[in-house]
Each structure stands twice: as structure tokens, then as C-alpha cells.
């Protein structure tokens, strides 16, 4: 047992790792759009660069040293990711482009194989489009049904008795987000998975918004499948992870057919390679995998508990401050223990897009829009919200700066409106 | 790139007091436009008078830029011929995209209030949302009239 | 009309652009595995780095300047690629992970939609696994049939009357490689497409091995679909291109469902975004796209005609020299005008893998194995071949060095065998 | 990392004059192993004698390393018990992977000729191809005998 000290982060030192903050044109950037994508530390960029400059080669196929070096580096990154989420083995880690491709892989490779006519796929009303549309299409292909577990628009929490009501004997899969990118809600996935398993229902967890911000242990959660994106975890673009239990991966069909994922190709029949390569057809994003490994090293070196503690302080402070601004409405849970690193809000009479432009003029980057969660917007009865979201490098001072600018925006627009 | 270049008084006024807003119940045509990335939506209701727009209204919600832009659009194209409208759309779009060397104030008139958008690339889509839709509508109307031999 | 001078390349200067050759541990590396993946020039690495260090943000969604800058850079790369292959519009350029994902996209998005029971899919015997297995799986899903157009094992050329024999009234698609990675054969795709179109057959061209080495014009070829990988074109890993004519893309179904590819998401139905985004679900490989754009700039600045001329000299020289080594058997066409930048061969009694290890000890990187083309190996009656393949930075001196080492290997192994 | 460290005389001899090569027509078991990345293939034919391998042959083609390795394997495991074989496999695999501090020459005997492979990581798969397959075979045989209560 390790004892985790409640250390506070040396954010000044951490910010130095992120070249974006030093780039003169960015002029003291306050970056509050981490739920969309994070910045990348020098450590990650250098690891990518090292691959390209020193031992660039294709993986798994070469009979020379750089090919072997590249293969080892890529497979080593896989090991790091397995340890990060405490997978039983790195065979359970499939590299994909991101959370979206991971969910599509599950819907095709598992869904097309195991979902039968009239089966039900249960998702929640707070999912990202990437965890909605693949299931809409699956149920069309398989003549199955899609059902929604509702949330309470007053506090952004899933309806407490929703699971009991929703789970039926024909429910095959529950796919839900660990942390909502539009509401900030942290869902109690461990308990939910436990309840679903009692009814032999397979569970897929969309961890795109949790992996970067809190420790996630797939064995402790007992998640059957879990997905996330590297670019939200300080890693490169174009790389992400599809995790599934080994027995599920063995039972599933591969989805991308081609080089590297096969064992034997005959004219009319082929057989598949072992896990994890069975699911990785074609030359992979080698630099992306290696870069994601470096990102995992980076967060480990700081400590995920510490990052999580730091961000919780930021969320708590932001929730307090935002609620104190007249005309601001905050969505999602108000309890910071139930609230991930993204906070959604609206400001009376000022459209989020106008607010974002206004803040951008003050070098504060926030997101406005539907956050790829149109059903959430419809439920909240707004066309869009503004959203701030945090990473390891954000500070209380930045929130103060944001709040001041927000007050000024309110004043500016109320002059007219 | 001061913020006031973008949010000109005229725009604020159109946002607060939109012109020609609300459904036209006897419209010949009702078209919807949507910006999938920010959720802005606009509906245009149009009554034709041969090769002219006799009346045009809009319904929608969105940011200052998209709403002021569509409000100005309705004022500006009402009563105009298809050719005149195409010309304005062309000129206006070029201004918004920052492609005009010199803005023809006579032609664009009040629409010049949106010229600041060209310096805010993230807002170009907002300003052009309704205009791009109208462009397609005009093209289709022309094709329709040509089919009937009524144009020219 | 531009007049292309038959300039010879200043290879010394070009080699300076590739940091891999300067890395001390690589110790005068002779890299002859370009068909597997190329090296990347500093210009590409710097462009990637610039994105991450200066304006890193997610694309298409942000309301702040760096998000807009990232979107413009990514879309600008798409324009560059459209110009490289002379597409009618950048709407016809879909970013994918690589050639493999592109072919899988065609098989799912076009094949599942348009291939009917008993339809035939025609491919050649010289395809890469990535252009075989997706079609094997498609015909299984659709109860259709897969047919092979044979090649002549003596010269690696497609049987001249194969198309006439093979095309039937039920042929729906012809998928074939422009240049074979295992034999080096350049197929006359323009004439083939013309013949196929006369029978209303759709044609997909696997240009993975042609795009990096010769000018390719999709309009001149009249290719319906065409695919290639960025990492074989001096670009980053994890990015590639699926090209298809706009009317085909409009008729096809998307394959990756999620953020960015949708217009409107309702509870049970969704509608798709415009081209090209309809096919790009999820956060794309932004750095990859931008890097590939820089790679296109790089080859354009040298000139594809010039690269092609340079490599033809290398191929001609290699074919001559290799044929002069007793005990060497060269596969594929012996005419350099019909031979792309990869040359496959075997050396009597020495297994390709042993040869590759031996050459690796002399810092010469070649490929050995089945080159993801097991049907080709079966047809040639060998378990594996050795393969050398060229890029813009290779030289006649390197071929000499390789031939000397090959002679030495022969001597070394014949001592024993 | 001289090339001679890899291609030792013994290996060359086994490559040229493989031992126990050719099908065993009365084999109890026939298993196939394949290295998908280089095309090397090996078939092992085995005759059991309770908890021992009574006879073992191989069929295959491939590089010096994979063929010499399987030829040595057949010599080395013939007549041994499952436990003895497991021990050799473990020791041999560790040597090939470079995980042994000190190589037990008594135990590995001629197999030591393959120790150079540990310095050529691209060849580790070649050396282990047949051994990994045998490892699975032995595990399954043990389970089978345990099921019948014949082991221990
Ligand atoms: C909860 C959630 N799921 C899925 C995704 C999709 O991730 P990506 O776009 O990296 O595929 C996101 C990110 O936008 C997200 O926030
Ligand atoms: C002819 C051909 N097609 C397809 C591919 C697959 O490309 P990738 O592995 O980049 O998806 C390759 C590369 O190995 C190839 O040579």
C-alpha cells in the first residue's frame, strides 16, 4: 500500500513543461478547454521526435535493428497503458485513433456479433455523440432497440432508480460515460457495473473524460470494455485506447482487416493474429503510441492522485465563483466530489459563442456549443452552453482572471442588451 | 482586432430588435439552416413574386452575429430580384471572408456593420449561416423558373 | 504547361534534411526499406512540432483563435493533398489512419451498401493483405464472390487477357494495386480502369506504393476510389488518405460514427455532416494531417517527376547489378519502366531472414518475409523473399555497398551450406 | 555483436543436416507453428509414452535460426519427462531473451550454441518458434494426464 500525501502541485514548474504557454503569440494564454484536448508537454514531444529522428522504422515486420527498436518502444507504450488502468495484461490494450474509433470497434466487433434482434442497448441521456450514434446504427443493423437512462436536469445526475427501471431481460449492453463532458457529472460506474453484472449485462465505460483526471482501475471497476483518447491525456492526436477483457476480445470479431492483424491469408479465408494485434490492421500510429506512452510516464511522475486533487480544488473554486456571478446558471452537480474537471454554464442574455469570442480577446480559451451532446442540450432547454475545463497546469489565478473577464463581458453586453 | 470592431451598435440593435422575425404562415418556401458546430439554427420563410423575393421572414436562435446577420439579410433582400440578390450574397460573402480589397458601401450599405467579422475567423460561419442557405435557395429558384421558361 | 527538366537530384543536400542519417548510432545507415515506411525530413517534423508548441487545439469546434488556426492548418493540408493527386475538390479527400483503413472504409461504406448477393469483387493475385482481407470479409457479409486476376510468375505481370476473361456481368468492383509492394510491378491502371468503366465497374486503386514515387492524377486515371498512406510519403505515422469521387462519397454510408461527422443527433436518428467530414468521426489525427501536408510540400518542392526519375535510375541499376550476382533470383518485371521502387529477390540457399540479419550488421536495412502478400509468395513458390526499396535519398553508391555486402553474405553462408 | 556470435558452427550443421526431420506417420500429435511476420513454419510430430516424449520429429522451412533451433529441440527433449522438458524450455527461453545472468551449460548443453540470439532481438522469435509451441503442448498433455489421474 502506498500512502498518498495530499501534496499540492508546483504548477509553476509544470507550466514550464508546456511550450504552448511560452509561445509569444499566445500571450499569457489561459487555456480552459482541456475537455476538448489538452496541451502536450515537452517530454511527450521529445519522445515523438526521438522516434522519428533516431530509430524510425515500421513495427513488427523488420529484420533490422531500428525496426526492432521501434517495435519494442511501441509495445512498451502498450505496457505502460496497461499499468495505468491496471489491465490484467497488455494483450487487453488495443491502440485505435481515439475514443470514437474505440466505441465504433465495440459496436462492430462485439455488437454485430452478439446483439440479436429485439435485444436492448442501454445508454444514458448524457452521452457524447460518439457514444450514441454507433449504437443507433448498431440497433438498425441488428433490428435491436436503443434505450435511454434519463438524468435529472436540476443536478445533472442519473435518475437514481433508472437502472432498476431500465434493465430488462433483453438488455445486452450498457454503454455509459464515466464523466460527462457536457455536465461534468461523475457517474458511480463501479456500483452501476456491479448491478449490471448481476443481470449478466456487458458494460462499456466511456472514460474519455475520467482517465486524464482521476485514477481509473479497470479491474476494480470490473469494466468489460473501456475507451479513451490520448489527446485528452497530454498525448498526441490520432491515438487512443480500446480496452476490453481478454475473453471479450477473443470472442469479438476484428474490424480492421489487413496487414499485421492476420496470421495466415489464403485466397478465400484468413486467420487472425494473437491479441492485441488481431485488432490492429495496417501500419499503426507508431509515433502516436510511443507519444502516449510518454504522456503516461508524465502523469505518473506527477501522480494521478495529485493531479486529481489539484483539479478538484479548481472545480470547487470555479463552482463557487461562477455561482456567485449574477445571471450565471451552472449545470451539473454542485458537489465537487461528484463533478469532474469540466463545468458548463450559461450567462443570461449572452450567447455562449459571443462570450467565447469576448474571452478569446482576453486570451482565455473556453468552449461554447453543444459539446457533441445535443440530447443534453435539448434536455437542458438551451441551444448551447459555455464550458470551462481544467488540466494539470491550470491555477486558481486563472479562474480569477476568467471570472473578472466574465463580469466584464456581462457588463459589455448588458450595455446593449 | 478590438472587440468593438465586431460588436457594432447596428448589430446589437438588430439582435435586440430583430426585423422580420417570426413565421410567415403563407410562405411559398421554408428552409432550415444549422451550424452543427455551435448549434445555431435559422429558418427562412419566403414568398416569391416571380423572379423576386416579395417577403422574407426568419425564425431562429443563436449568437449576436448569426441573428443580426439574418435580420439584416431579410431587410436587404426583400423586394430584390434573384440577380440582385446573388450579387449581394457574393459581395457580402467576400467581405466576411476578408477577400475584398475595398468595400462597396453603396452596395452593401448597413451590411457593412458586419465587416469586422473578417477579423474573427471563428465567427465567419455565424455570419454566413443564413446567407449560404439563401444562396442555394436562389439557385434552385432560378433553375425552377428556367425550367418553366420564365427567366431572362 | 510546365516543362520538366531532366534534372538530377542533389542527393547530398536532400540527405541533410533527414535527421535519421545523422544520428550517430545509425552509423552510416543505408536504408532500403522504403516500401515499408520512409524516413521523415526535418521540414515535416518541424511542422508537427509547430502545431503542438504554438497553436495546439482541437479542430472544427473551438471559438478561440488557436482552434481556428488548427482547423485552418488541418484543412489546408487537405487542399494540398487534393492538389497532389489532382482531385476535383478537397471534399473528396478523407483523412484516415492509412491505406488499410481506407480500404476497410470502402468495403464497409460502399461495399455493404452496394454489393448484392452473387455480385463479384475482382482483385489481383498480387495484392497486399490489406487489399485482400477486407474483400474476403465483405463477400462473406454480402454472400457475394471474390475472384482473382492472375499474374505470370515469370515476369510478375498481370495476365494480359485476364481482365477480358475475368470481367463478368456480375462484377461490381475491381480493386487492384497500382504498384505491387512484393513484385515491384507497375500495373497499367489507366487502361484497366478504362476497360472496367466500359462495363460500368467501379475501380479502387491501392496507390500505397505509387503515390510516393511517381505523379498520380486521379482525374487522368479516372479512378473511382484511391488510397494511400502518409508514412510511406515522408509523412507521419497514423495518417493516410481515402479518395473517392464526390458522387461516390455522397452515395456511401459513413463508417465511423461520432463527434464531428454528424449534423444533428436525435435520440434515435442522426443526420450527417457535409463532405469530407461525414467520414471523419471523432477527433482526427490533427498533427498527422498537418504533417502530411508538410510532406506534400516537401515532395512538391523537389518535384515528383524528378523523384521518379531518380528512383528509376536506382531501380534500373539495382536490377542490373542483382541479376549479375550468381545465385540471385529477381522477381517481377525486369524492364525498369514497368518496375516501381521495390525489388524482390532471393539468394540461393540463404534464407532472406538470415540475409537481412547479415546486412543489418553492415548497417544496411532491407526487408525479408512475405511482405504481407502471402498469395504472391505461394505463387512464386517461396516462403519469403528479400526486398530492397528506394526513396528520394538513396544513391547508386548505396546500391554498390549493398551488392558488395550481398556478395560477402553469399560467401559467408556458402562456407557452411 | 559479431555475426559469428549468431551463426555458430553447430547451428550451421543442424541447418544443413537437420536431425529428426520428416513426418512421424504414427504420431499421437501433430502441431503447427507459424511466425506470421516472416513466414517461417514448423510442424512438430510427437509420440507419447505416458508423461514422456518417446519420439519427436519436425517438418518445416525457414531460416538458419528457426531450423537449427527446432532440430536441436528434437534432440534435446526426446525421452525426457514433461517436467524435465518444461525446465529446459524455461531455461532456454530465458537464455534467448537475454534474461539469464549465468548460463547453466550442463543443463542446456548444445543449446548454448543459440545464446548469441539474445544479442539479435530481431531473431528471438525465430529461435523460440518451436519452443513456444512445445510449451503449450506440454501444458496440455499435463492437463490431460491430470484429468486421467495419471500424473504426480
Ligand atoms: C465523453 C466523451 N466521449 C467521447 C469523446 C470522443 O473522443 P474523440 O473525439 O477523441 O474520439 C469525447 C471527446 O470529445 C468525450 O468527451
Ligand atoms: C500495396 C500496399 N497496400 C497497402 C498497404 C498498407 O498500408 P498501411 O499499412 O499503411 O495501412 C501497403 C503497405 O504496407 C502496401 O504496400
Continuous H helices in C154-217: 162-166, 189-198
Per-position b or e across B105-120, b if 16+ CB within 10 A of its CB: eeebeebbbbbbbbeb
Q: Is A28 on the interface with C (CB under 8 A)?
A: no
Quote the pLDDT of residue B150: 54
Quote the pLDDT of residue B1: 62
Sign for the pseudo-dihedral over CA of B113, B119, B120, B124? positive
Determine the Cα–Cα distance for residues D24 and D31; give it in Å rounded to an integer. 12
* Lowest mean pLDDT across A4-13, D27-36, D103-112, D130-139: A4-13
Q: Is C267 on the interface with D (CB under 8 A)?
A: no
Asked if A384 lies within 8 A of B38 by C-beta distance, the reply is yes
Quote the pLDDT of residue D89: 96
Quote the pLDDT of residue A4: 45
Pocket of ligand 1, candidates A181, A212, A242: which has the most ligand atoms within 8 Å of its Cβ, to mutate? A181
At residue C88, φ and ψ (nearest 5 deg) are -65, -30
Ligand 1 nearest-atom number relative to CA A240: 10
C-alpha cell at A50: 526521438
Look at residue D18 and give its three-state secondary structure: coil
- Residue C20's closest chain A neighbor by CA? A53
Lining ligand 2 with CB less than 6 A are A 259, 282-283; C 35, 98-100, 128, 130-131, 177, 181, 206, 208-209, 229, 240, 372
Confidence of residue C407 (pLDDT cuts 50, 70, 90): very high
Are C287 and A238 a contacting pair, CB within 8 Å? yes
Q: Is A16 exposed, middle or buried (0-12, 13-18, 19+ CB in 10 A)?
A: middle
Q: For residue D65, how far is its CA from the centre of ligand 1 (angstroms)?
A: 47
Q: For residue C103, how far is its CA from the centre of ligand 2 (angstroms)?
A: 10
Chain A residues with CB under 8 Å of D34 CB are 263-264
Determine the Cα–Cα distance for residues A214 and A208; give it in Å rounded to an integer. 11
Determine the Cα–Cα distance for residues B28 and B145; give it in Å rounded to an integer. 14
- Residues spanned by CATH 3.40.640.10 within chain C? 46-301
Best CA proximity match to D114, nearest among D54, D61, D73, D150: D73
Are C257 and C274 a contacting pair, CB within 8 Å? no
Determine the Cα–Cα distance for residues C44 and C47; give it in Å rounded to an integer. 5
- Which residues have CB under 8 Å from C237's CB, separation 6+? A283, A284, A285, A286, A287, A288, C37, C230, C231, C288
**CATH code for the structural domain at A46-301:** 3.40.640.10
Mean of the per-residue pLDDT values of chain C: 95
Asked if D126 lies within 8 A of C353 by C-beta distance, the reply is yes
Are C280 and C260 a contacting pair, CB within 8 Å? yes
Distance of residue A346 Cα from the nearest chain B Cα, in angstroms: 13
Confidence of residue C1 (pLDDT cuts 50, 70, 90): very low
Asked if B63 lies within 8 A of A351 by C-beta distance, the reply is yes
C-alpha cell at C11: 542527393
Determine the Cα–Cα distance for residues A198 and A176; give it in Å rounded to an integer. 17
Q: For residue C86, how far is its CA from the centre of ligand 2 (angstroms)?
A: 21
Pocket of ligand 2, candidates C124, C130, C184, C233: which has the most ligand atoms within 8 Å of its Cβ, to mutate? C130
Q: Is the pLDDT at D14 greater than 90, yes or no?
A: yes
Number of Cβ within a 10 Å radius of residue D93? 17
At residue C40, φ and ψ (nearest 5 deg) are -115, 135
At residue C122, φ and ψ (nearest 5 deg) are -105, 125
Does the domain spanning A2-37+304-411 belong to CATH 3.40.50.1220? Answer: no
- Minimum-distance CB partner of C383 among D6, D39, D120: D39
Looking at per-residue pLDDT, the higher value among A214 and D119 belongs to A214
Residue with C-alpha cell 462570450? A355
Look at residue C253 and give its three-state secondary structure: coil
Determine the Cα–Cα distance for residues A334 and C130; give it in Å rounded to an integer. 51
Q: For residue C147, how far is its CA from the centre of ligand 1 (angstroms)?
A: 40
Rounded mean pLDDT, B82-105: 94
| ipTM given for this complex | 0.94
Determine the Cα–Cα distance for residues C126 and C131; give it in Å rounded to an integer. 10
Quick: pLDDT tens for D72-111.
999 999 999 999 999 999 999 999 999 988 888 888 999 9
Distance from chain centroid for Cα C188 = 16
Q: For the packed helices D64-77 and D82-96, what is the interaxial angle rounded to 10 degrees?
A: 150
Looking at per-residue pLDDT, the higher value among A129 and C166 belongs to A129
Q: Any bridge partners for residue C364, and if so which? A: C30
Per-position b or e across A60-71, b if 16+ CB within 10 A of its CB: bbbbbbbbbbbb
Determine the Cα–Cα distance for residues A387 and A181; give it in Å rounded to an integer. 9
Best CA proximity match to C288, nearest among C19, C109, C59: C59
**Does pTM surpass 0.90?**
yes
Enumerate residues 44 to 83 of chain C having a beta carbon within 8 A of any beta carbon in chain A: 45, 48-49, 52-58, 61-67
Look at residue C11 and give its three-state secondary structure: helix
What HEC string does chain A produce? Answer: CCCCCCCCCCHHHHHHCCHHHCCHHHCCCEECECCCCCCCCHHHHHHHHHHHHHCCCCCCCCCCHHHHHHHHHHHHHHHHHHHHCCCCCHHHEEEECCHHHHHHHHHHHHHHHHCCCCCEEEEECCCCHHHCHHHHHHHHHHCCEEEEECEECCCCEECCCHHHHHCCCCEEEEEEECECCCCCEECCHHHHHHHHHHCCCEEEEECCCCCCCCCCCHHHHCCCEEEEEHHHCCCCCCCEEEEECHHHHHHCCCCCCCCCCEEEECCCCEEECCCCHHHCCCCCCHHHHHHHHHHHHHHHHHCHHHHHHHHHHHHHHHHHHHHCCCCEEECCCCCHHHECCEEEEEECCECHHHHHHHHHHCCEECEEECCCCHHHHHHHCCCCEEEEECCCCCCHHHHHHHHHHHHHHHHHHHCCC
Quick: pLDDT tens for C375-392.
999 999 998 999 999 999
Quote the pLDDT of residue D1: 62
Structure letter (DSSP) for residue C91: G
DSSP H or E stretch at residue C272: strand C270-272
Quote the pLDDT of residue A312: 97
| Architecture of the structural domain at D3-140 | Alpha-Beta Complex (3.90)
* Strand ranges of the sheet holding B52-61, from the earlier edge strand across to the other edge: B29-34, B41-49, B52-61
Quote the pLDDT of residue D122: 87
Quote the pLDDT of residue C61: 72
Mean of the per-residue pLDDT values of chain D: 91
Q: Any bridge partners for residue A123, and if so which? A: A148, A175
Q: Is the pLDDT at B151 greater than 50, yes or no?
A: no
Distance of residue B142 Cα from the nearest chain A Cα, in angstroms: 34
Residue with C-alpha cell 525530413? C41
**pLDDT less than 50: residues of chain A:** 1-5
Number of Cβ within a 10 Å radius of residue D40? 26
Q: For residue D20, how far is its CA from the centre of ligand 1 (angstroms)?
A: 57
Touch between B and D (at least 3 CB pairs under 8 Å): no
Distance from chain centroid for Cα A36 = 9
C-alpha cell at B18: 430583430
Look at residue B26 and give its three-state secondary structure: coil
Ligand 1 contact via A33 beta carbon (within 6 Å): no
Ligand 1 contact via A208 beta carbon (within 6 Å): yes
Ligand 1 contact via A39 beta carbon (within 6 Å): no
Rounded mean pLDDT, B118-136: 93
Are A243 and A178 a contacting pair, CB within 8 Å? no
Please tell me the number of the ligand nearest to residue A237's CA: 1
Q: Which of C11, C372, C382, C403 is catalytic?
A: C372
Q: Is D37 on the interface with A (CB under 8 A)?
A: yes
Distance of residue C336 Cα from the nearest chain A Cα, in angstroms: 26
Asked if C65 lies within 8 A of B122 by C-beta distance, the reply is yes
Look at residue C204 and give its three-state secondary structure: strand
Q: For residue A229, how far is its CA from the centre of ligand 1 (angstroms)?
A: 7
Quick: pLDDT tens for D41-54.
899 999 999 999 99
At residue A29, φ and ψ (nearest 5 deg) are -65, 130
Chain C residues with CB under 8 Å of D129 CB are none
Ligand 1 contact via C283 beta carbon (within 6 Å): yes
Q: Any bridge partners for residue D59, and if so which? A: D43
Determine the Cα–Cα distance for residues C216 and C234; give it in Å rounded to an integer. 16
Most distant CA atoms of chain C, gap in Å: 73
Quote the pLDDT of residue B10: 94
Q: Is the pLDDT at B152 greater than 80, yes or no?
A: no
At residue D10, φ and ψ (nearest 5 deg) are -55, -40
Parallel, antiparallel or unpaired: strands C171-177 and C157-158: unpaired
Quote the pLDDT of residue A7: 61
Determine the Cα–Cα distance for residues A184 and A331; give it in Å rounded to an integer. 8
Quick: pLDDT tens for C3-55.
444 567 899 999 999 999 999 999 899 999 999 999 999 999 999 999 999 99
C-alpha cell at A11: 504548477
Best CA proximity match to C258, nearest among C249, C244, C270, C242: C270
Q: For the packed helices A396-414 and A352-361, what is the interaxial angle rounded to 10 degrees?
A: 120
Q: Is B53 exposed, middle or buried (0-12, 13-18, 19+ CB in 10 A)?
A: buried
Distance of residue A311 Cα from the nearest chain B Cα, in angstroms: 27
Determine the Cα–Cα distance for residues D152 and D146; give it in Å rounded to an integer. 8
Q: Which chains touch B (3 or more CB pairs under 8 A)?
A: A, C
Ligand 1 contact via A127 beta carbon (within 6 Å): no
Distance of residue A248 Cα from the nearest chain D Cα, in angstroms: 22
For chain C, what percent of residues have pLDDT higher than 90? 91
Q: What is the dihedral of CA C40, C245, C4, C233, to 10 degrees?
A: 10
Chain D residues with CB under 8 Å of A63 CB are 38, 122
Are C274 and C262 a contacting pair, CB within 8 Å? no
- Residues spanned by CATH 3.90.1150.10 within chain C? 2-37+304-411
Ligand 1 contact via C259 beta carbon (within 6 Å): yes
Amino acid at each position: 500500500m502506498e500512502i498518498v500525501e495530499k501534496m499540492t502541485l508546483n504548477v509553476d514548474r509544470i507550466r514550464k513543461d508546456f511550450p504552448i504557454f511560452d509561445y509569444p503569440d499566445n500571450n499569457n494564454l489561459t487555456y480552459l478547454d482541456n475537455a476538448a484536448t489538452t496541451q502536450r508537454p515537452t517530454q511527450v514531444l521529445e519522445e515523438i521526435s526521438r522516434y522519428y529522428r533516431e530509430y524510425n522504422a515500421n513495427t513488427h515486420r523488420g529484420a533490422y535493428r531500428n525496426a526492432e527498436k521501434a517495435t519494442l518502444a511501441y509495445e512498451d507504450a502498450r505496457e505502460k497503458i496497461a499499468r495505468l488502468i491496471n489491465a490484467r495484461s497488455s494483450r487487453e490494450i488495443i491502440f485505435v485513433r481515439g475514443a470514437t474509433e474505440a466505441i465504433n470497434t465495440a459496436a462492430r466487433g462485439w455488437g454485430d456479433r452478439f446483439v440479436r434482434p429485439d435485444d436492448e442497448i442501454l445508454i444514458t441521456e448524457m452521452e457524447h455523440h460518439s457514444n450514441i450514434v454507433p449504437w443507433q446504427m448498431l440497433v438498425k443493423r441488428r433490428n435491436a432497440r436503443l434505450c435511454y437512462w434519463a438524468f435529472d436536469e436540476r443536478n445533472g445526475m442519473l435518475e437514481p432508480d433508472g437502472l432498476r427501471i431500465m434493465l430488462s431481460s433483453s438488455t445486452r449492453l450498457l454503454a455509459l460515460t464515466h464523466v460527462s463532458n457536457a455536465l461534468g457529472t461523475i457517474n458511480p460506474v463501479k456500483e452501476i457495473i456491479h448491478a449490471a453484472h448481476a443481470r449478466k449485462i456487458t458494460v462499456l465505460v466511456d472514460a474519455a473524460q475520467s482517465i486524464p483526471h482521476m485514477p481509473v482501475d479497470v479491474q476494480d471497476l470490473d469494466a468489460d470494455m473501456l475507451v479513451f483518447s490520448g489527446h485528452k491525456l497530454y498525448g498526441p492526436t490520432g491515438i487512443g485506447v480500446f480496452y476490453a477483457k481478454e475473453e471479450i476480445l477473443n470472442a469479438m470479431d476484428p474490424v480492421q482487416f489487413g496487414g499485421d492483424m492476420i496470421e495466415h491469408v489464403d485466397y478465400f479465408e484468413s486467420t487472425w493474429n494473437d491479441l492485441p494485434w488481431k485488432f490492429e490492421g495496417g501500419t499503426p500510429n507508431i509515433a502516436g503510441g510511443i507519444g502516449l506512452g510518454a504522456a503516461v510516464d508524465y502523469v505518473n511522475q506527477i501522480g494521478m492522485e495529485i493531479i486529481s486533487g489539484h483539479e478538484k480544488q479548481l472545480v470547487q473554486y470555479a463552482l463557487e465563483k461562477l455561482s456567485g456571478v449574477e445571471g450565471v446558471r451552472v449545470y451539473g452537480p454542485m458537489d465537487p466530489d461528484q463533478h469532474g474537471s469540466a463545468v458548463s454554464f450559461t450567462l443570461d442574455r449572452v450567447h455562449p459563442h459571443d462570450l467565447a469570442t469576448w474571452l478569446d480577446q482576453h486570451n482565455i480559451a473556453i468552449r461554447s456549443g453543444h459539446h457533441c451532446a445535443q440530447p443534453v442540450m435539448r434536455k437542458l432547454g438551451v441551444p448551447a452552453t459555455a464550458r470551462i475545463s481544467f488540466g494539470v497546469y491550470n491555477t486558481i489565478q486563472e479562474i480569477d482572471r476568467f471570472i473578472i473577464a466574465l463580469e466584464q463581458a456581462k457588463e459589455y453586453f448588458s450595455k446593449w442588451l | 482586432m478590438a472587440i468593438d470592431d465586431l460588436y457594432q451598435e447596428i448589430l446589437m440593435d438588430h439582435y435586440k430588435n430583430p426585423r422580420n422575425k417570426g413565421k410567415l404562415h403563407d410562405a411559398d418556401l421554408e428552409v432550415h439552416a444549422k451550424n452543427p458546430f455551435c448549434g445555431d439554427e435559422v429558418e427562412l420563410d419566403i414568398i416569391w413574386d416571380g423572379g423576386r423575393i416579395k417577403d422574407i421572414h426568419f425564425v431562429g436562435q443563436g449568437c449576436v452575429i448569426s441573428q443580426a446577420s439574418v435580420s439584416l439579410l431579410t431587410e436587404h433582400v426583400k423586394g430584390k430580384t434573384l440577380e440582385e440578390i446573388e450579387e449581394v450574397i457574393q459581395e457580402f460573402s467576400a467581405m466576411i471572408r476578408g477577400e475584398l480589397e475595398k468595400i462597396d458601401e453603396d452596395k452593401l450599405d448597413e451590411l457593412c456593420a458586419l465587416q469586422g467579422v473578417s477579423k474573427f475567423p471563428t465567427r465567419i460561419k455565424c455570419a454566413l449561416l443564413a446567407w449560404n442557405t439563401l444562396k442555394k435557395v436562389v439557385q434552385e429558384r432560378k433553375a425552377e423558373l428556367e425550367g418553366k421558361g420564365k427567366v431572362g
